[in-house]
Amino acid sequence: MNKNKTPEFSGAFASLCSILTDKNIRFTTHAEEKRISLSIVGKVASYNCNFLVNDDDSLLCFYLRYPIAVRDEKYRASACELITRATYGLPVGNFEFDFRDGEIRFHVSQFIGSFPLERDVVDSVVHAALRAADRYFPSLAQHLYSGVTPEDAVYTAELDYHSSQVQEPSPAVKKPAPHADPPQPDTRTE
């Protein structure tokens, strides 16, 4: 393993190492796997991450792993439901759940083809993963530690999406109160 040293590679893997070095990001290369590992601090958690470049340099994959795993098997099905609900409708990337150990990660892939790997591509892959991870991490914690249902936890994470669908009632037009006759004195005789 090399720390921040560009290995003797060409293509996308070497470009990725160069881009990360230029951004002053600390990382570790795993040259035999064409993998780079690093840590990223988001708004709500710190994440261990991996970049992978496939053998023919045509695909860049980014994996961001949550700092907690669902160790208790009785919560794995409901945690899986939560990440499935979170993934549904995402324009980029997806959550993945490992039933063997309860690990949850977010995965984004970008087809590079024969084009050189650009800094903007790396930035957009990382940004997409970090945004999704930060949005839904509190939902997972609410579910695991506070008993919030997966549906409610995801709904809460997506309140900004749901707010655009809420129809505010139109303000009621106040009509003047009908004139009531003044109360009449009681004229009954007993």
Number of domains in the chain: 1
- Asked whether residue 119 is assigned to any structural domain, the reply reads yes
Find out whether 76 and 68 touch, Cβ atoms under 8 Å: no
Cβ partners under 8 Å of residue 98, min gap 6: 104, 105
7-22: per-residue pLDDT in tens? 466 789 999 999 999 9
- Asked whether residue 182 is assigned to any structural domain, the reply reads no
33-72: per-residue pLDDT in tens? 999 999 999 999 999 999 999 988 899 999 999 999 999 9
Please give the share of the chain, as a percent, with pLDDT higher than 70: 81
Does residue 3 have a pLDDT over 60?
no
- Asked whether residue 41 is assigned to any structural domain, the reply reads yes
Ranges of beta strands (E only) in 26-182 are: 28-30, 35-41, 46-53, 59-65, 94-97, 104-111
pLDDT band at 30 (very low <50, low <70, confident <90, very high): very high
- Asked whether residue 186 is assigned to any structural domain, the reply reads no
Of the chain, the end-to-end C-alpha distance in Å amounts to 107
Q: What is the CATH number of the domain that holds 132?
A: 3.30.1460.70
The tokens of 114 are what? 């024969």
Does residue 32 have a pLDDT over 70?
yes
pTM of the model: 0.79
Cβ partners under 8 Å of residue 82, min gap 6: 136, 139, 140, 143, 150, 153, 154
Does residue 135 have a pLDDT over 60?
yes
Boundaries of domain holding 89: 2-160
